[in-house]
Amino acid sequence: MPIDVYLNVAVAGILTGLVYGLMALGLSVIFGVVRVVNFAHGEMMSIAMYLTVLLFSSLNLDPLVMLVPIAAVLFVFGYALQAGLINPFISRPEHSQFLLLVALALIIVNTLLIIFGPDARTVQTSYTFDSFQLGALIVDATKLYAGAAAIVVAALLFAFFRLAPLGKAIRACADNYTGALVVGLDVKRLYALTFGIGAACVGAAGVMMTLIVDVTPIIGPTYTLLAFVIVITGGLGSMAGALLGGLLIGVTEALAGLLFTPSAKSMFAFAILVLVLLFRPQGILGRRSI
Amino acid sequence: MVAKTPVHVLDYLTRLTASVFADIPPRAMILLVTLLALLLIAPWLINDYLLTVLIVVLYFAFTGQAWNIMMGFAGQLSLGHAIYAGLGGYIAAVLFARFGIAPWLGFLAVIPVAAVCGATIGFLAFRFRVAGVYFAILTIAFAEFARIGFDHLDFVNASAGLFLPVAQYAHNDLWRLRGNPTMFYYVILTAAALVFVLCRALLKSRPGYCWLAIREDEQAARAVGIDSFHYKMAAVMISAVITSFAGVFYAFFYNNLFPEQVFNISRSIEMILGPIIGGIGTLFGPILGAFVLTGLAEALNTALIALGFDLPGAKQVFYGICLLLVVVVLPDGVWPWLARLIGVDEARR
Amino acid sequence: MKALLSLQAVSKRFRGLVAVDAVSFDVAAGELFAVIGPNGAGKTTLFNIIAGAVAPDSGSISFAGEAIGGLPPDAICRRGIGRTFQIVRPFPALTVEDNVIVGALLHNRDVGKARACASEFLRRLDLFDQRNRIAATLTLPDRKRLEVARALATEPKLLLLDEVMAGLRPTESDRMVAILRTLNSDSGLTIVLIEHVMRAVMALASNVLVLDHGIAIAQGKPEAIVRDPAVVQSYLGAEPV
């Protein structure tokens, strides 16, 4: 195959990978701070995706316009979830929290199935079939916009955690729970905020994802697993790692889809997961050892 | 055990059986015997639909107990158990459909495969210290890998599904597992009962104590000389092999296999619902969980249909809600609470 | 006489911190050996190394003539070294009896025999009456005795006790001292203990090793150690013991 094809597929993979990265960033933030393994991550994303589809089909609003409102809705959802359901669970054994979220994921996926049915929905905007050309490179407009939006949101997030006092307070909680308590931080509220932020991330990623893929109720679990692969590969507790992992997985998936059967591309993500868990469990950029 | 003569073997088995049922409190024993009696005569009491429901209940009681060996005894959370059932089903089905090999012989071929699969996952996890939630994710990854893999495997008809030849038999063929639901009912009932006895025997045996110790505190267990790697591997492999039999049963009962369904994470989750809701680590938990969960789910389904709703996914939502409630309100499961209530406490050691 | 346990220049560092620095000592069979020193001196790390929970960076450890450095904890237990933990770790959901049975199963394949064996140790440690209680419901002194009983059930030749007196009132501490003395004199069990409670050390030990910042600063009979200026400086203080 000519090199152009590889290049195009790789670039498409990078752009999709940026959206994956944003999704994984949400998970990384949640896990890094609250230490909750959010097994309902992909399902939360599918909520955002269905909201996008719904608003698009009824109000004809472009997904990119709906980015902020839908992210806000997911923020509230995440905040409420942490404050109401998960906070009381902090002292329970690890697998209890995990199962709680497994239950939630199960409920979300099937409720979406009941409400929307199993058929795929898509969002077709004015630019769905547009593409930009840069020499030999042909880039889908949808992917380009999605990737660009992902970069913007990620940058905002980085800035928030580095510069904003609230962001620093959250990082303090992550580093040292007891220390944060001692210093007088309202850790529970900060946890809820963090979960909200993580949910908003995944919500934003979901909105962008509707530009790229079809929406069905059962994609939730697939994205949950993908988010885990990315976060573990990139490194737990590392935001840059989540993005890096996203890019890596995005490109690998795209190229694997090209070289082998497209539908088997997730197998490679899992192979990578197994390898990472075995040989470098802290991930590429991870600081903590598991 | 050094079995010198058949008499010795018989004596050993008798003592084993006696000890297995030795210190079940009398009330629990009565419950158990009543339940068994009812289950034995059930086919004469209920219609075919309810019989099928009971088969599903017993299927989950069976798989629940198998999963419980890994989680409740050895403390390893597996969310990919569907892989063992899937492998069992596919191997036995292919051997039957293509080579006419009876399922019981097919199971003999399944055993090493399931054991090796379990050993692989166990080895990768335990040697490389993948534990807790990460272990769960690893198991999910393996199951997904199998799902996608089989979906593309033409030898088993890939995503189009594998179908078993269903001929009209004048009588039940136990050897080939072809026949009416009643036959299947007794097969799964026997299987579930045998697993129950096995679990009980295991719990009171030397490995059982070692597993409980590992579950409670692995480092402390090692400090008293328990080779935890060895025992964890054993738990995983035993659990895998038992679950694979469920897969064989599934294949021959439903007569069709689709990778998308058989290896799906939903199957894995369904397998764990019983034990979690019933009570991990307890003996009656998985059984109670299976009865309660499947029973209520079917009741819900019937009610919904009666009201005119056809909601695919309603059952799963119900499962999710049950799981949520149990995890939040009764984290040890329903059985310990119920047992205290009716005074049949197991000394849950 | 050849030592039962022998450490030669054993060292361990964790990242930047040297926890144990070229420590050497011998423990003779049947001896009651104490390891003392300020907090953070490396005593528990030393125990963890001997018991196999942590591998030494350098140096050698031999037990009954066999090199055991780097072996896993269960292998070391099988060779005859039992241990307790600084923070008590019984099996919480199991009964007292079952806790000890787990230990007894090391040398008794049959559960029935293990139970009989366990009963004996429960009686010795005054826990027989509580054998059906769940371990998590026990008081701290009882949990400590449970851990000792469980370790004893593995029939060790050498027992490592990590601050087994901590948190005990003087009467309970005396009781434990009496039990340990009896075990030592009756069955020749070699005991190595980490202790802060000097009263127990003076009462029990025939040989004392003093660690400070990972280094062995003194070794000898308790009476001599107590008067050693380096030891007084770093750990004991000027008050008479």
Interchain pair C72, B222: CB under 8 A: yes
pLDDT of res. B94: 93
* Cβ B336 vs Cβ B281: under 8 Å: no
Tally Cβ neighbours within 10 Å of residue A159: 11
B173 shares contact with chain C (CB less than 8 Å): no
Distance (Å, whole) CA A113 – CA A27: 24
Nearest Cα residue in chain C from B212: C94
d(CA B212, nearest CA chain A) in Å: 17
pLDDT of res. B104: 92
Q: Tell me whether residue C39 is exposed, middle or buried, using C-beta atoms within 10 angstroms of its C-beta: 0 to 12, 13 to 18, 19 or more.
A: exposed
Instruction: Mark the ranges of chain B whose per-residue pLDDT is less than 70.
Output: 1-5, 12-13, 15-23, 167-170, 344-349
Interchain pair C98, B225: CB under 8 A: no
Render pLDDT for C96-124 as a digit per residue (tens, 0 to 9): 999 999 999 999 989 999 999 999 999 98
Nearest Cα residue in chain B from C78: B225
Distance (Å, whole) CA A270 – CA B142: 8
Distance (Å, whole) CA A27 – CA B133: 14
d(CA B159, nearest CA chain A) in Å: 11
- The DSSP symbol for C125 reads T
Rounded (5°) CA angle A112-A118-A120: 100
Q: DSSP readout, B281-318?
A: T-SSHHHHHHHHHHHHHHHHHHHHHHTT---TTHHHHH
Nearest Cα residue in chain B from A112: B313
Please tell me which of the candidates B124, B133, B323 has its beta carbon nearest to residue A94.
B133
- In the stretch 12-31 of chain B, residues with CB closer than 8 A to chain C read none
Nearest Cα residue in chain C from B210: C102
b/e map of A249-264 (b: 16 or more CB within 10 Å)?
Answer: bbbbbbbbbbeeeeee
Interchain pair A266, B133: CB under 8 A: no
Look at residue A286 and tell me whether its pLDDT is greater than 90.
Answer: no
Q: Which residue has 């006895």 as its token pair?
A: B197
Residue C96 with chain B: CB contacts under 8 Å: none
- In the stretch 175-214 of chain B, residues with CB closer than 8 A to chain C read 204-206, 209-210, 212-213
Interchain pair C74, B206: CB under 8 A: no
* Cβ A71 vs Cβ A207: under 8 Å: yes
Q: Which residue has 């944003």 as its token pair?
A: A22
Chain centroid, CA A94 distance in Å = 22
- ipTM score assigned to the predicted complex: 0.90
Interchain pair A107, B137: CB under 8 A: no
What is the band of C34 on the pLDDT scale with cuts at 50, 70, 90? very high
d(CA A254, nearest CA chain B) in Å: 16
| Substitution target from A274, A276, A282 for chain B, most B beta carbons within 10 A | A274
Instruction: Determine the length of chain B.
Output: 349
pLDDT of res. B16: 66
Neighbours of chain B (3+ CB pairs under 8 A): A, C
Tokens linked to C4: 């039962």
Q: Tell me whether residue B161 is exposed, middle or buried, using C-beta atoms within 10 angstroms of its C-beta: 0 to 12, 13 to 18, 19 or more.
A: middle
pLDDT of res. C120: 92
d(CA B246, nearest CA chain A) in Å: 23
pLDDT of res. B260: 86
Parallel, antiparallel or unpaired: strands C81-83 and C158-162: parallel
B45 shares contact with chain C (CB less than 8 Å): no
Please tell me which of the candidates B212, B226, B227 has its beta carbon nearest to residue C94.
B212
Extended beta strands in chain B, E state: 162-163, 256-257
pLDDT of res. A88: 79
Number of H helices, E strands in chain C: 9, 10
d(CA B327, nearest CA chain C) in Å: 19
Instruction: Determine the length of chain A.
Output: 290
* Higher pLDDT among residues A133 and A248, named by residue: A248
Q: Please indicate, yes or no, whether the overall pTM of this predicted structure exceeds 0.90.
A: no
* Cβ C131 vs Cβ C116: under 8 Å: no
Instruction: Determine the length of chain C.
Output: 241
d(CA A163, nearest CA chain B) in Å: 32
Nearest Cα residue in chain C from B208: C102
B309 shares contact with chain A (CB less than 8 Å): no
d(CA C109, nearest CA chain B) in Å: 7
Interchain pair C105, B210: CB under 8 A: yes
Look at residue A288 and tell me whether its pLDDT is greater than 70.
Answer: no
Amino acid at A208: M
| Substitution target from B317, B325, B326, B329 for chain A, most A beta carbons within 10 A | B317
Q: Find all residues with CB under 8 Å of A94, minimum gap 6, and list them.
A: A37, B132, B133
Interchain pair C98, B227: CB under 8 A: no
Look at residue C48 and tell me whether its pLDDT is greater than 90.
Answer: yes
Interchain pair B223, C73: CB under 8 A: yes
Distance (Å, whole) CA B188 – CA C223: 73
Please tell me which of the candidates A100, A266, A277 has its beta carbon nearest to residue B144.
A266
State the maximum Cα–Cα separation within chain B, in Å, rounded to a whole number.
Answer: 66
Amino acid at C65: G
C48 to B129, C51, C77, C84, C90: CA distances (angstroms): 19, 5, 12, 10, 17
Nearest Cα residue in chain C from B225: C74
* Higher pLDDT among residues C125 and A1, named by residue: C125
Tokens linked to C128: 């027989």
B134 shares contact with chain A (CB less than 8 Å): yes
Render pLDDT for A24-75 as a digit per residue (tens, 0 to 9): 999 988 888 887 888 899 999 999 999 999 998 888 888 888 889 999 999 9
Three-class SS state of A231: helix
* Cβ C121 vs Cβ C152: under 8 Å: yes
Please tell me which of the candidates B77, B145, B328 has its beta carbon nearest to residue A267.
B145
Q: Find all residues with CB under 8 Å of A250, minimum gap 6, and list them.
A: A13, A14, A15, A16, A17, A18, A19, A20, A21
Please tell me which of the candidates B144, B319, B320 has its beta carbon nearest to residue A270.
B144
Please tell me which of the candidates A95, A261, A274 has its beta carbon nearest to residue B141.
A274
Extended beta strands in chain C, E state: 5-14, 17-27, 32-36, 58-63, 66-67, 81-83, 158-162, 190-194, 207-212, 215-220
Distance (Å, whole) CA C91 – CA B210: 11
Q: Do chains B and C touch (3 or more CB pairs under 8 A)?
A: yes
* Cβ B132 vs Cβ A95: under 8 Å: yes
d(CA B346, nearest CA chain A) in Å: 22
Residue closest to B109 by CA, chosen among B95, B128, B125? B95
Three-class SS state of C129: helix
Size of the A and B interface in Cβ pairs below 8 Å: 110
d(CA B348, nearest CA chain C) in Å: 8
Q: Do chains C and A touch (3 or more CB pairs under 8 A)?
A: no
Look at residue A173 and tell me whether its pLDDT is greater than 80.
Answer: no
The torsion angles phi and psi of A6, rounded to 5 degrees, stand at: -60, -45
Q: Find all residues with CB under 8 Å of B33, minimum gap 6, and list them.
A: none
pLDDT of res. B349: 35
For residues C214-239, give the mean pLDDT: 83
Neighbours of chain A (3+ CB pairs under 8 A): B
- In the stretch 210-249 of chain B, residues with CB closer than 8 A to chain A read none
Interchain pair B206, C89: CB under 8 A: no
Distance (Å, whole) CA A283 – CA B314: 39
For residues C75-102, give the mean pLDDT: 94
Nearest Cα residue in chain C from B281: C93
d(CA B20, nearest CA chain C) in Å: 13
- In the stretch 105-124 of chain B, residues with CB closer than 8 A to chain A read 124
Beta bridge partners of C95: C134
Residue B228 with chain C: CB contacts under 8 Å: 74
Residue B204 with chain C: CB contacts under 8 Å: 111
Q: DSSP readout, A39-96?
A: TTHHHHHHHHHHHHHHHHHHH---HHHHHHHHHHHHHHHHHHHIIIIIGGGTTS-HHH
Distance (Å, whole) CA B291 – CA B274: 8
Helix B181-203 with B6-20: angle, nearest 10 deg: 90
- The DSSP symbol for B70 reads I
Distance (Å, whole) CA A234 – CA C190: 50
Render pLDDT for A215-230 as a digit per residue (tens, 0 to 9): 998 888 889 888 988 9
d(CA A183, nearest CA chain B) in Å: 30
Interchain pair B311, A114: CB under 8 A: yes
Three-class SS state of C235: helix
Residue closest to B235 by CA, chosen among B312, B122, B95? B122
pLDDT of res. A98: 83
* Cβ B329 vs Cβ C77: under 8 Å: no
